[in-house]
């Protein structure tokens, strides 16, 4: 604990254990639609950083690109916290036609992958920067470098295809899970669980990662979730009651808590693991869901989990899990720019940051927008950010919780988002508390 945190703790006369408090419930939210780029017919928000900047993608209609015929192209998009109605479509390298955004770090660098042989890249300062293997290291066509996630400090997780295989391996190529530095240079080759391929889906600021890997020499060997903690790769334990031993670990928070899913297709359950203790369990599903198709996409440092839940006969729900309970996100929204439509595949909650701000996409009833263009990107902001324990009231327990989060330097205790926990944050929180939840 730093000197500032000790001083604040002493000032309030509180003893802090340093662990996250148990919340009474998830936040209530206000939903804001994000600005739509010109000529876009569909938008998706897929990532949010600690500053509140949002990244995603838009299907943009481009006139007369080929032989005078207009085409639809997928482009990465950036929405900055200061003006979320102003969408910035990011430029791509020549001959790169499609790009899917996977993450954004706290320097507002956007990370994306393409369907061309150029693989994956980051985009910032008006330029595209490609990821690469070590100089001289052989690589194949297809997707030689494919990224999946980025931490707030710019560590990048993904996979890299290469034709240099481990000694004695029966394959013609090898696709290990890989981490990169922000400049695109490779940080570490994580490897696999003994199979041909693996992919890191999540990474935190410590370089801890999670993902999925084949286990076994067969090209069709099954895949299992894995953790990568302090240089050690291990298979994630199977939660009791899992529909299948296979699954995916998709995101990891600062404490090593991992979320994802077990099973696949029409029978999958959202799951949570503690990578440090080995604890594993399935997340609860809604009552009467006999054939769930659930996935946990992301988890905040406050252990708020977001994802999606559906069955074979409904449109699906955007879902929040907290402290062993499951919530339909629509029941937590107290104000919205537009009503959601019960159509398509339902809302998707893609990502959450340390302030429990959530991004995703869904179909909305917006005046003048036809149904086939009604999928919009959105952000959910806590309706009362001073209510830290989620009990819908402001009391001294919220102040005590703030002191605890400040002492352990949790992200949302950095109220002014300057990257430093100091007395200016304490003053800002107390001012927010005094203003109430009106």
- Does residue 413 fall inside a structural domain? yes
Contact between 169 and 158 (Cβ < 8 Å)? no
C-alpha 303/C-alpha 49 separation (Å) is 16
DSSP 8-state assignment for residue 11: H
Give every strand in the sheet of 186-191, ordered side by side: 145-150, 156-160, 177-180, 186-191
- Does residue 10 fall inside a structural domain? yes
Looking at the structure, tell me whether residues 36 and 95 fall in a common domain. yes
- Does residue 415 fall inside a structural domain? yes
> Tokens 């669980």, residue?
193
Looking at the structure, tell me whether residues 92 and 49 fall in a common domain. yes
Q: What's the confidence (pLDDT) of residue 241?
A: 93
Query: Which of 88, 34, 86, 30 has its CA nearest to residue 377?
Result: 34
Q: How many domains does the chain have?
A: 2
**Range list of β-strands (E), 10-90:** 29-33, 40-48, 54-66, 69-80, 83-89
* Backbone φ, ψ for residue 133 (5° rounding): -90, 180
Q: What's the confidence (pLDDT) of residue 119?
A: 58
Q: What's the confidence (pLDDT) of residue 344?
A: 65
C-alpha 33/C-alpha 274 separation (Å) is 34
C-alpha 48/C-alpha 45 separation (Å) is 8
Looking at the structure, tell me whether residues 38 and 67 fall in a common domain. yes
Looking at the structure, tell me whether residues 422 and 357 fall in a common domain. no
Which conformational region is residue 123 in: left (phi greater than 0), alpha (psi within -120 to 50 degrees), or beta? beta
Looking at the structure, tell me whether residues 2 and 66 fall in a common domain. no
Write out the residue range of the structural domain in which residue 411 sits: 1-27+392-438
* Backbone φ, ψ for residue 291 (5° rounding): -135, 70
- Does residue 411 fall inside a structural domain? yes
Looking at the structure, tell me whether residues 337 and 353 fall in a common domain. yes
Query: Which of 227, 230, 225, 231 has its CA nearest to residue 213?
Result: 225
Looking at the structure, tell me whether residues 19 and 33 fall in a common domain. no
Looking at the structure, tell me whether residues 7 and 40 fall in a common domain. no
Q: What's the confidence (pLDDT) of residue 8?
A: 46
Tokens of 150: 């980025």
Residue ranges of the chain with per-residue pLDDT less than 50 = 1, 3, 5-22, 135-136, 138, 140-143
With b meaning 16 or more CB within 10 Å and e meaning fewer, what string describes 324-359? eebbebbebbeebebebbeebebbbbbbbbbbbbbb
Query: Which residues lie across from 71 on neighbouring strands?
Result: 62
Q: Angle at the Cα of 165 (from 162 to 168), degrees rounded to 5?
A: 170
- Does residue 372 fall inside a structural domain? yes
- Does residue 43 fall inside a structural domain? yes
Residue 270 burial by Cβ neighbours in a 10 Å radius (0-12, 13-18, 19+): buried
Looking at the structure, tell me whether residues 32 and 14 fall in a common domain. no
> Which residues does 255 contact at the CB level (< 8 Å), separation at least 6?
20, 276, 301, 303
Looking at the structure, tell me whether residues 20 and 32 fall in a common domain. no
Q: What's the confidence (pLDDT) of residue 115?
A: 61
Which conformational region is residue 217 in: left (phi greater than 0), alpha (psi within -120 to 50 degrees), or beta? alpha
Q: Angle at the Cα of 436 (from 333 to 16), degrees rounded to 5?
A: 95
Looking at the structure, tell me whether residues 54 and 36 fall in a common domain. yes
Give the CA distances from residue 192 to residues 166, 259, 379, in Å, rounded to whole numbers and listed in that order: 11, 19, 35
- Does residue 321 fall inside a structural domain? no
Q: What's the confidence (pLDDT) of residue 134?
A: 52
**Range list of β-strands (E), 97-140:** 99-104, 110-114, 120-124, 127-130
Q: How many residues does the chain have?
A: 438
Q: What's the confidence (pLDDT) of residue 14?
A: 37
- Does residue 399 fall inside a structural domain? yes
Looking at the structure, tell me whether residues 32 and 76 fall in a common domain. yes
Query: Which of 321, 316, 328, 312 has its CA nearest to residue 282?
Result: 321
């Amino acid at each position: 604990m730093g000197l500032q945190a000790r001083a604040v703790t002493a000032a309030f006369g509180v003893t802090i254990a340093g662990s996250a408090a148990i919340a009474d419930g998830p936040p209530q939210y206000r939903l804001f639609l994000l600005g739509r780029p010109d000529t876009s017919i569909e938008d998706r928000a897929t990532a949010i950083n600690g500053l509140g900047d949002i990244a995603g993608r838009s299907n943009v209609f481009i006139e007369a690109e080929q032989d005078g015929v207009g085409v639809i192209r997928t482009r990465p998009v950036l929405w900055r916290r200061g003006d979320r109605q102003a969408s910035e479509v990011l430029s791509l390298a020549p001959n790169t036609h499609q790009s899917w955004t996977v993450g954004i770090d706290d320097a507002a660098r956007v990370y994306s992958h393409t369907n061309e042989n150029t693989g994956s890249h980051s985009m910032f300062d008006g330029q595209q920067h490609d990821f690469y293997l070590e100089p001289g290291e052989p690589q194949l066509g297809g997707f030689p470098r494919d990224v999946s996630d980025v931490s707030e400090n710019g560590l990048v997780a993904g996979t890299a295809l290469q034709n240099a295989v481990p000694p004695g391996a029966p394959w013609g190529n090898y696709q290990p899970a890989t981490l990169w530095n922000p400049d695109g240079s490779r940080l570490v080759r994580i490897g696999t669980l003994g199979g041909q391929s693996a992919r890191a889906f999540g990474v935190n600021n410590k370089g801890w990662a999670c993902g999925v890997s084949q286990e076994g020499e067969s090209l069709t060997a099954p895949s299992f979730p894995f953790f990568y903690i302090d240089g050690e790769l291990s298979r994630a334990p199977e939660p009791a009651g899992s529909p299948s031993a296979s699954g995916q670990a998709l995101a990891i928070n600062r404490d090593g808590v991992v979320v994802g899913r077990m099973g696949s297709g029409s029978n999958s359950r959202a799951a949570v693991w503690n990578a440090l203790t080995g604890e594993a369990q399935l997340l609860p599903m809604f009552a009467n869901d006999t054939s769930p198709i659930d996935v946990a996409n992301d988890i905040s440092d406050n252990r708020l989990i977001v994802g999606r839940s559906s069955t074979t006969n409904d449109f699906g729900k955007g879902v929040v899990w907290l402290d062993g309970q499951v919530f339909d996100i629509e029941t937590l929204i107290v104000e919205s720019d537009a009503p959601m439509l019960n159509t398509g595949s339902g809302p998707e909650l893609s990502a959450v940051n340390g302030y429990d701000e959530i991004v995703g996409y869904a179909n909305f009833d917006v005046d003048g927008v036809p149904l086939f263009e009604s999928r919009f990107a959105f952000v959910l902001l806590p309706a009362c950010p001073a209510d830290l324990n989620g009990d819908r009231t402001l009391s001294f327990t919220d102040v005590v919780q703030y002191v605890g989060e400040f002492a352990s330097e949790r992200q949302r205790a950095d109220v002014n988002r300057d990257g430093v926990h100091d007395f200016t944050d304490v003053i800002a929180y107390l001012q927010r508390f005094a203003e109430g939840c009106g």
